[in-house]
């Protein structure tokens, strides 16, 4: 049995090792992926005498895939795609009301609210049958390509009274991970930017 801080510092592993139940260990196989598509708008706005904003990104669409693990080691995939045109749909305001989102919310905020709901279902698929085994309610959300831009497109959606943003893991230029907790439940989403992680 290998001994290292990453293994011993994990509550699930500590519990299973302490009670000799390592044969019941389950890898976290459920996760969510997402990808933004954005348009570059030319702005040409003078911010100061020496600074001009040439362009800014506008959200066009966001796609996500939710991966639900089954007991037989197979997966169930649920794919979602939202675009700026969703905001023009007749039932958009109704969907916002269902998730108790402000009426001026964007399609990104709606997708984020649905992602928290999906994360709860993914957690239910991954948790242990024995309720005594500690298991975190954090579901990984993997972002791909252009992660510097993706986080900038997510910030306004993350700044909402329905959830709490944790301290990001980042260096000077690149955010590597952010954990966001849903206030209505114990579910957390850990946004991980695959290209910047290593």
pLDDT digits (tens, 9 = 90+) for 36-50: 888 888 888 888 888
Question: pLDDT (tens digit, 9 = 90+) per residue, 93-139?
Answer: 999 999 888 888 888 888 889 999 999 999 998 888 888 988 888 99
Alpha-helical runs (H) found in 42-141? 92-98, 107-126
> pLDDT at position 66, please?
93
Question: pLDDT (tens digit, 9 = 90+) per residue, 5-57?
Answer: 556 667 888 888 889 998 888 877 899 988 888 888 888 888 888 888 888 77
**Chain mean pLDDT for the chain:** 82
**Tell me, what DSSP letter sits at residue 104?**
T
Q: Which two tokens stand for residue 153?
A: 């497109």
Do 35 and 108 touch, CB atoms closer than 8 A? no
Tell me the C-alpha distance between 82 and 102, whole Å: 18
The residue ranges of every structural domain in the chain are 30-197
> pLDDT at position 1, please?
46
pTM reported for the whole predicted model: 0.80
Closest CA to 191 of 163, 168, 162: 168
């Amino acid at each position: 049995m290998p001994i290292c801080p990453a293994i011993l510092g994990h509550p699930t592993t500590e519990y299973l090792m302490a009670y000799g139940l390592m044969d019941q260990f389950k890898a976290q196989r459920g996760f969510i992926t997402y990808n933004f598509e954005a348009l570059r708008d030319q702005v040409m706005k003078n911010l100061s005498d020496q600074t001009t904003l040439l362009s800014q990104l506008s959200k066009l669409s966001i796609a996500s895939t939710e991966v639900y693990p089954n007991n037989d080691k197979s997966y169930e995939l649920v794919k979602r795609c939202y675009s700026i045109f969703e905001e023009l749909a007749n039932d958009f305001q109704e969907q916002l009301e269902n998730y108790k989102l402000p009426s001026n919310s964007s399609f990104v905020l709606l997708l984020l609210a649905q992602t928290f709901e999906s994360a709860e279902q993914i957690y239910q698929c991954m948790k242990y049958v024995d309720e005594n085994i500690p298991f975190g309610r954090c579901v990984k959300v993997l972002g791909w390509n252009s992660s510097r831009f993706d986080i900038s497109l997510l910030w306004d959606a993350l700044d909402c009274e329905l959830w709490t943003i944790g301290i990001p893991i980042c260096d000077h230029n690149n955010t590597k991970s952010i954990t966001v907790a849903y206030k209505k439940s114990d579910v957390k989403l850990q946004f991980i930017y695959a290209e910047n992680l290593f």
